[in-house]
Structure 1
Amino acid sequence: MAERLPVLLIVDDEVRSLESLARILQDDFDVKTAANVTRAREILQSEWVQIVLCDQRMPDMTGVEFLAQLREQYPDVVRIIISGYTDTEDVIRGINQAGIFQYITKPWQPDSLLLTLKNAAHLFDLSRQNELLATELKLSTSHVEATLAQRRQKLKERYQFEDGIIRGEASPMNLVCDRLRQVAPFDISVLLEGESGTGKELAARALHYNSLRWNKPFVAENCGAVPDELLESELFGHRRGAFTGAVADHVGLFERADGGTVFLDEIGEVSAAFQVKLLRVLQNGEIRALGSSKPQKVDVRIIAATNKTLEEEVRAGRFREDLYYRIAAMTIHLPPLRERKDDVTVIARAYLAGAAQGFGRASAVLTPEAEACLARYSWPGNIRELQNELQKLLILSGESGRIGAELLSPRILRAAPAHEPAGESIDVMDLEGSLRDRVDALEERILREALIRNRWNKSKAAKELGLSRVGLRLKLQRHNLENVHELPVKRRSAAAKD
């Protein structure tokens, strides 16, 4: 079915001008022509016209006068004036009285004229779509409300303590989730402490969506990422002209979250001066936008987070004691991932299951050896570092979706074996015992990394390490690494023949 061309009505008392315009525009528009206003009105009554291109100087009335009348009767039609005269008063009247879209002067350029008319047609389409959407919204208010309620319910279910916070059966996070579950219904401030990347924002969202405020806004702000002036504007808002660049009023996060929850991340990074302003807001329950003299009441629950120990910051005089007690009615500590060894595999499997499709993979599976390496690593960047590593593995795994240990980053392969203290990487200063013991521990890690990287191909590993096959075998026997690998059956048989 051919696309219907937009209907263009050209009004001009000069026949040659009508013919010239029609000839140029007929490929892109359904062109209608009128040599006078009377004929133009007849066409408007019988045709669905989207654009009117009208000459300014006509014997019965001017183009501006005609389009001004047209504006009242057919307000949706896009109105354009074309004239050989550039009278400023005509232009002003055209804009104010007729609400014209464009004032085109003669002689006109065909390409420029065509572009202007195409833009006018696009404007008409957008206007119609906006009207239809507005009508649909009016007719379907109940449907929109029901859909919104369903989405809120799904969001609430997503942050349930049982499924939203992924962990193993004997995880240290079980106690954390129990504490979060206990405090969530009570309208008190909560301070979440823990290293960066331990999931403090996830815990904050779980608190919000399991509270009585769950169907109100949840807003978050990283207090350590912006200077005081911008932070005050972001949280409390500002009025136009309050400072250089404030060209419009800005609604702050506290006002947006009225009735809901404000999550203040990295609260320990705010300056002493801003601590005073924040304390005043929490004490009085009201904000004052920058540039405004009128305070405004707000009802929000505060959940704060920090990677510092705020009690120590209070003792050191870097954090106000009165503000600390305002935000820490309940303090909950989130353990780092190195203390959640059994959770690493569970988190990795759940993340891969959810992220594989987004990376164009039907599925993604970690080999047992890869899972063991992930669990052995200390994860100084916590869950955020684990997610970044898994994203990289998804990309490197290709279409097979099999993620072997050889794809892991070197720092993870160099992690200490299970019987040694966990470490981020090889550090001789961390090793204990005699010189021989330290050299043996270091040699074991180097051998393990080389074998994993070469997928337990002993010939390649020996060549990389500058050893003979016999020399490598002796070292593997001494470190009890000869059979510590995960290979398919055929590969194992081949290795046995070697």
Structure 2
Amino acid sequence: MSPAQPLPVVLVVDDEVRSQDALRRTLDEDFVVLTASGAEQARVHLERQEVSVILCDQRMPGLTGVAFLKEVRERWPDTVRIVISGYTDSEDIIAGINDAGIYQYILKPWIPQHLLGTVRNAAEARTLQRDMNRLDLELRTSTPVLRQRAERKLDRARATFDFDRIERLAGSPMDAVCALAERIARVDLSVLVQGESGTGKELLARAMHYASPRAAGAFVVENCAALTDTLLESELFGHKRGAFTGAFEDHVGLFQRAHGGTIFLDEIGETSPAFQLRLLRVLQEGEVRPVGATRVVPVDVRVIAATHRDLEQRVRDGLFREDLYYRIACVTFTVPPLRERSGDIGPIARRLLAEIAPALGRGAVRLGDDAMAALLAYPWPGNIRELRNEISRAVALSEGEEMGAAAFSSRVLRGQAGRSVQTQAHAQALPSSGTLAERLDAVEAMLLRETLLRHHWNKTRAALELGLSRVGLRGKMKRFGLED
């Protein structure tokens, strides 16, 4: 058995003792947590031992968090820097990104699970960065060995994000989506992925990247709804020192970082017309001009965009540029919501459970029959993201190897109760007399109507779920008087 790896060290810098205690309680199971009331105490810790991540309050007596983290960046550059603040001053955020090179800017009041996940990712990022630095050193003396390692890592990434790893049952509506996406992945065209929030659009985009000839390049992600136009342009296209207040050094944008790879622009439907024009020029010309720069930089990037909006309708409403729409939507996919592929809930839930239980310190946990029934009865308006949160909550609250429905939130249980009432109403509506053929026809008509309603009268999806052709479905609809 290999020896256990030492826990990463996290340094919390905050002048409020209660904040220190709250952060310690959130982090101390996964990290060695050190605390400091200000910059002076923090320097002592940093000089004595190696610190993986530093969490620093922005507003402190004396030196501000960003000013102190700028010093950390210069003296201890390998330490990942995170700012925690109750204020949303954009200049603080920009200064933190530019001066202190912060990894994340977390707003108070923070959510324990989100903060813990952020710090875990930061510690992992530091480990990966150190590995990359070591590989860069080896590159000078051992290029063939490094190339083999890179190829093995690429193979592992391809296996991890393979289309087959997108959980679904045979015959799922996702089968057709994945089959077409896998074919298009090999062709260097821009792609638009549509679907409700939480349906797994980024996962599909990542699978396309690793199935494409660009797999060895970077896959970078930006949520276009999360930033203002100014910050979004800086993040995507980069900026030069002095381009605006707080731009104290050059910043390389994500388009340049994705050169030779893929950039995933999530929630592109939320962008302003002014930003859309700038993005259109980048896509047309294949080059970016960082904010404040006089020269353009060529970029070779495949764009996969995503939105939960109906972009065609937004084009008609004058909210989205038609020319940009046709530029990004060479091929369009629609990821169906979870309620339209209820057969996939079981495989997805079991996969999430296998990932989440070990991460929360639990052993093997399985879903009881009543738990699975509750999951299948709920419509999941938040889709897979909501399902993940519900599984996480249930794992944390349940005990034993089998997880029952009682561990789920009240809204999921209300969904199950509503479905039970609906089922009872259907049972009461069925005829209790008549010939066997008449009673079977009534059952078939009810099943047909339920399926059509669930799929909003989309005949293709309804026929797929029922195992019928569209012609066969139309024949049955006519027979039972269900024509729309």
TM (norm. structure 2) is 0.58
2:199 maps to 1:198 = yes
Counterpart in the other structure of 2:306: 305
Alignment of 1:261-410 (within 5 A): 261-398=262-399, 400-410=400-410
Cα distance per residue 1:82-137 (max 9 Å; x no partner): xxxxxxxxxxxxxxxxxxxxxxxxxxxxxxxxxxxxxxxxxxxxxxxxx9998766
SS class of match (1:356): helix
Q: Is the 8 A contact 1:374 1:412 kept in 2?
A: yes
- 3-state DSSP class of the match of 1:188? coil
Q: Deviations over 1:18-49 (max 9, x none)?
A: xxxxxxxxxxxxxxxxxxxxxxxxxxxxxxxx
Cα distance, 1:179–1:368 mapped onto 2, change above 3 Å: same
Alpha-carbon separation, structure 1, partners of 2:408 and 2:331 = 39
Q: Quick one: distance in 2 between partners of 1:191 and 1:134?
A: 36
Q: CA deviation at 1:336?
A: 0.5
- Please give the residue correspondences for 1:54-453 in structure 2 after superposition, counting only pairs within 5 Å: 138-162=140-164, 164-398=165-399, 400-416=400-416, 417-418=418-419
* CA distance in 2 between partners of 1:173 and 1:418 (Å): 25
CA distance in 2 between partners of 1:304 and 1:420 (Å): 41
CA contact (8 A) 1:394 1:401 kept: no
Kindly indicate whether the alpha-carbon contact (under 8 Å) linking 2:224 and 2:268 is maintained by their aligned counterparts in 1: yes
Task: State the 1:211 CA deviation.
Answer: 0.7
Q: How does 1:443-482 map to 2 (within 5 A)?
A: none
Alpha-carbon separation, structure 2, partners of 1:134 and 1:267? 35
Distance 1:268 1:134 in 2: 39
**1:161 to partner: Cα distance:** 1.2
Q: What is the CA–CA distance in structure 2 between the aligned matches of 1:389 and 1:355, rounded to whole Å?
A: 11
Structure with higher RCO (Cα < 8 A, 6+ apart): 2
Residue 264 of structure 1 aligns to a residue in which SS? strand
Runs of 5+ consecutive residues of structure 2 not aligned to the other structure:
1-132, 430-484
Q: Give the SS at the match of 2:278.
A: helix
Cα 1:404–1:229, aligned 2, differ >3 Å: closer, same or farther? same
User: Displacement of 1:320 after TM fit?
Assistant: 0.5
Offset, 1:354: 2.4
Deviates more, 1:349-358 or 1:296-305: 349-358
Give the drift of 1:355.
Answer: 2.4
Q: Displacement, 1:396?
A: 1.3
1:165-200: CA deviation from partner (whole Å, max 9, x where unpaired): 111122111111111112110100000000000000
Q: CA RMSD in A?
A: 2.4
Deviations 1:48-76 (A, max 9, x none): xxxxxxxxxxxxxxxxxxxxxxxxxxxxx
Opposite residue 250 of structure 2, the aligned amino acid is: D
What's the CA shift for 1:397? 1.9
Contact 1:171 1:343 in 2 (8 A): yes
Larger Rg: 1
* CA displacement at 1:230 relative to structure 2: 0.6
The AA in structure 2 aligned to 1:346 is: P
State how far apart, in whole Å, the 2-side matches of 1:306 and 1:239 are.
30
**Alpha-carbon distance in 1 for matches of 2:379, 2:135:** 53
Counterpart CA distance in 2 for 1:299 and 1:165 is: 28
Residues 353-373 of structure 1, C-alpha deviation per residue, up to 9 Å, x if partnerless? 222222212201010110011
| Alignment length (residue pairs) | 295
2:138/2:146 contact within 8 Å kept = no
1:415 is paired with a residue of what secondary structure? helix
- The Cα offsets for residues 242-299 of structure 1, whole Å up to 9 and x where unpaired, read as 1111111100000011111111000000001111101111111111011111011111
Contact 2:135 2:146 in 1 (8 A): no
Counterpart Cα distance in 2 of 1:148 and 1:133: 10
Residue 418 of structure 1: how far off its partner (Å): 4.4
Q: Once structures 1 and 2 are overlaid, which stretch shifts more, 346-355 or 333-342?
A: 346-355
Q: CA deviation at 1:239?
A: 0.7
Compared CA separation, residues 432 and 375, structure 1 to 2 (3 A)? closer
| Separation in 1, partners of 2:270, 2:364 | 41
Percent of aligned pairs with the same amino acid = 51
Change in 2 beyond 3 A, CA 1:172/1:135: closer
Paired with 1:341 and 1:143, the residues of 2 have a C-alpha distance of: 47
Normalised by the length of structure 1, the TM-score is 0.56
- 1:407-459 CA distance string (max 9 Å, x none): 1111111115547669xxxxxxxx999xx99xxxxxxxxxxxxxxxxxxxxxx
> Deviation digits for residues 358-411 of structure 1, max 9, x if unmatched?
22122010101100110110001100000001011111123x232111111111
**Equivalents in 2 of 1:325, 1:134: separation in Å?**
41
